[in-house]
Amino acid sequence: LLLDSPLFGVGSGGILRVTLCAADLDEARILYDHLAPISAIMIALTAGTPIVRGYLTDRDSYWEVQCSATDDRSAQERGFAPVTTAKGKLMKSGLGTIESYLGPGPSSKDMSFNSQYNDMYYTYESAASVALMNVGIDRELSQHVARLFIRDLHFATAKMLRDKDDATSSRSNGQEHFKRFLGCNRQNVCLYPPNTRTRSGWEVEFVSLEVQLTDEENAAFISFIVLLSRVIISYSLNLYIPISMMNQNMVRAQKVNAAKEQVFFFRRDLFSGRDGKQSGPGLISRGGENSGWINTHAGDYNADATPSEREARGHRHLGPGSPDTTEYVELTINEILNGSPTHKVAGLLNIVLSYLPKLGLEYQAENELRRQLVLIRRRASGKLCTLATWMRNFVEKHPDYRHDSVVSPEVNYDMLRTLNDIEERRVAAPELLAT
């Protein structure tokens, strides 16, 4: 498909952004790091864009379209030509997954971060990094900021460029300018510094949700992310996985029906590591070391089985250590959210539900949150399909569809009209919405 305009990326909408307020920089860094590995899970679970520019594509999510449509890297920056005038090779588009974790602040007692998690190369402006470290900023945060200045796509409105004494000036004192730099390098999780003009504190923005069909679905996923952020802080969860694993997860998350048919790298024990004591090394791989496809017998995992029996069933323990204490495991979204006793995985939804009573909410408010989480639980288990799956099935079953990927105006009209009827509850869709 030829998508020859950035408007196919940031201009097309479809992304549901959740902005979280942090108490301070240390808390913001924790949320930034531990929400990033959840991005792929949420992309697969909220997938809603199988059709792009009138064609039924071989992916369900809009993430790669957004990243590619806003990719302004030159041939040198892409590595297609020798670097002569560019500042270096850039591994990703300005919009994409995070390039490194920030780690806890220097004064934090959290020992879960390991520099080996930042296992992917990325380019940053060395002079900017040195300048920041010279005034006391730690290395991880300095390089995080310095990477913003390695790219050319920096912009500001005419109003912002006027003299600060001009009555029409935005009087940003540089903060709005810096926000524009961040806007040109938007990632799956974004960190925003305090703004004296708006009196906002440190903020973390989660931008890996796709807009759903109904307000109820959107509210459910927003509530889950907000609750998960509070659980991460209150329970000191440890969700770190290497950046390379997170990148692989993002690729898998965009595949057709990924919510049911893909497995994702995930941390097995979410409660270990904050004291510096990590789980055992190694990885339980399912269906091949580099494959995200679930083996037919993937659900037959037996903790008492021999290594050869596990491998025959599509489970292979890679690396040293015991399979029962290994640090990472490839899990389905159902296992990640709803838990897996065989893999000794608690399940994020179960952890969130255990946290709800601690909030001291009124019965009606807590009951509404539990009702919202039921939708996510059923979506994760496969009892409810994603919007992308519903749209794909509708197109493929439409009598006017010729199975050539072309979604004709007639098919498109019928689909949108049916979706509108579902949203307004005139047509039932039990496979899509919880009753």
Most confident range (mean pLDDT) of 58-62, 124-128, 332-336 is: 332-336
Nearest residue to 31 (alpha-carbon basis) of 276, 205, 272, 267: 205
Residue 30 has pLDDT above 60, yes or no: yes
Extract the tokens encoding 154.
């920096």
What is the percentage of the chain residues whose pLDDT exceeds 70? 80
HSE of 312 in the Cβ direction (CA atoms, 13 Å)?
6
Question: How confident is the prediction for the chain on average, in pLDDT?
Answer: 83
> Model confidence over 256-268: pLDDT tens digits?
999 999 999 999 8
Note the pLDDT of residue 210: 93
> Model confidence over 37-81: pLDDT tens digits?
999 999 999 999 999 989 999 999 988 888 888 788 888 888 888
pLDDT band at 308 (very low <50, low <70, confident <90, very high): very low
Note the pLDDT of residue 10: 63
Note the pLDDT of residue 297: 30
Note the pLDDT of residue 298: 34
Residue 123 has pLDDT above 80, yes or no: yes
Nearest residue to 6 (alpha-carbon basis) of 183, 220, 163: 183
Note the pLDDT of residue 66: 83
Contact (CB, 8 A) for 59 and 50: yes
Extract the tokens encoding 262.
């893909």
Cα 42 to Cα 209, 211, 226: the distances in Å are 6, 11, 13
Q: Is the dihedral of CA 94, 95, 98, 99 positive or negative?
A: negative
Note the pLDDT of residue 304: 42
* DSSP 3-state of 55: strand
Mean pLDDT computed over 205-223: 94
pLDDT band at 165 (very low <50, low <70, confident <90, very high): low
Q: How far is CA 75 from the centre of its chain?
A: 28
Residue 89 has pLDDT above 90, yes or no: no
Residue 173 has pLDDT above 90, yes or no: no
Note the pLDDT of residue 320: 47
Contact (CB, 8 A) for 281 and 321: yes
10 Å Cβ neighbour count for 200?
13
Most confident range (mean pLDDT) of 9-13, 80-84, 137-141 is: 137-141
* DSSP 3-state of 11: helix
Q: Is the dihedral of CA 310, 313, 315, 320 positive or negative?
A: positive
> Model confidence over 350-382: pLDDT tens digits?
999 999 999 999 999 999 999 999 999 999 999
Contact (CB, 8 A) for 328 and 283: yes
Cα 56 to Cα 85, 155, 290, 412: the distances in Å are 40, 34, 27, 11
> Model confidence over 380-418: pLDDT tens digits?
999 999 999 999 999 999 999 999 999 999 999 999 999
Nearest residue to 283 (alpha-carbon basis) of 312, 254, 310: 310
Most confident range (mean pLDDT) of 120-124, 233-237, 308-312 is: 233-237
Q: How far apart are alpha carbons 237 and 433 in whole angstroms?
A: 30
Note the pLDDT of residue 34: 96
Residue 294 has pLDDT above 50, yes or no: no
φ, ψ for residue 55, nearest 5 deg: -125, 140
Q: How far apart are alpha carbons 265 and 36 in whole angstroms?
A: 13
What is the percentage of the chain residues whose pLDDT exceeds 90? 55
Note the pLDDT of residue 177: 72
Note the pLDDT of residue 286: 64
Extract the tokens encoding 245.
């694993």
Residue whose pair of structure tokens reads 């946290």 in the numeric block? 355
Most confident range (mean pLDDT) of 49-63, 166-180, 183-197, 274-288 is: 49-63
* Greatest Cα-to-Cα distance within the chain, rounded to the nearest angstrom: 75
Mean pLDDT computed over 302-309: 41
